[in-house]
């Protein structure tokens, strides 16, 4: 059965910053992607409440990378497994594993996509509508085309192409509304 995906917060990056926060329900797992900076924690918790998902039911958190605007509110969901580019963290246990191809749940897997940072991870979610890519390879549909934090724009472009070659029906960017790639 495909996963259910809801955008809890549509992020932005201008004079203020908030990450796009995503909720994925896949069988018995409840996954939050990038619970970072938002104007108020209720911006994450209220939509979850409306969906009937209490914070205590969250089993996993995926961090696309380690910038505070994507990680700040991870503690809203204890105890959970936290996934990043190199490991799973649970309580006081650190389990090394490469993110590439890691299956978080039956319909959710990770893809190593360096570019914005060397440690970026894209979360791929299979939904009834098709594949959705939650990623910071794009800040938003509007740009910027050149990532001001990327140390290697060519690497970012290769990672973008890799994601687009998977033919996602939707891109959920790091700081903007979801959009359908052309």
Is residue 182 in some structural domain? no
Domain range for 91 is 4-172
Q: What are 25-50's pLDDT values in tens digits? A: 999 999 999 999 999 999 999 999 99
Domain total of the chain? 1
Is residue 107 in some structural domain? yes
Is residue 177 in some structural domain? no
Q: Residue 20: which CATH number?
A: 3.60.15.10
Give the pLDDT score at 78: 87
Is residue 130 in some structural domain? yes
Q: What are 83-95's pLDDT values in tens digits? A: 999 999 999 999 9
User: Does residue 156 surpass a pLDDT of 90?
Assistant: yes
Q: Give a three-class secondary structure readout of 47-109.
A: HHHHCCCCHHHCCEEECCCCCHHHHCCHHHCCCCEEECCCEEEECCEEEECCCCCCEEECCEE
Q: What's the pTM?
A: 0.98
Is residue 148 in some structural domain? yes
Mean pLDDT of all residues in the chain?
Answer: 97
């Amino acid at each position: 059965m495909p996963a259910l995906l809801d955008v809890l917060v549509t992020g932005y990056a201008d004079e203020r910053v908030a990450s796009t926060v995503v909720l994925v329900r896949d069988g018995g797992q409840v996954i939050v992607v990038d619970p970072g900076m938002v104007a108020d924690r209720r911006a994450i918790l209220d939509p979850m409440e409306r969906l009937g998902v209490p914070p205590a039911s969250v089993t996993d958190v995926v961090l696309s990378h380690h910038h505070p605007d994507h990680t700040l509110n991870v503690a809203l969901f204890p105890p959970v497994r936290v996934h990043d580019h190199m490991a799973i963290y649970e309580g006081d246990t650190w389990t090394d594993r490469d993110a590439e191809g890691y299956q978080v749940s039956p319909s959710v897997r990770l893809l190593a996509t360096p570019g914005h940072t060397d440690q970026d991870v894209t979360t791929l979610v299979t939904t009834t509508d098709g594949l959705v890519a939650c990623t910071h390879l794009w800040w938003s549909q509007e740009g910027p085309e050149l990532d001001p934090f990327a140390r290697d724009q060519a690497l970012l472009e290769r990672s973008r192409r890799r994601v687009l070659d998977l033919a996602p029906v939707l891109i959920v960017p790091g700081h903007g509304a979801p959009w359908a790639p052309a």
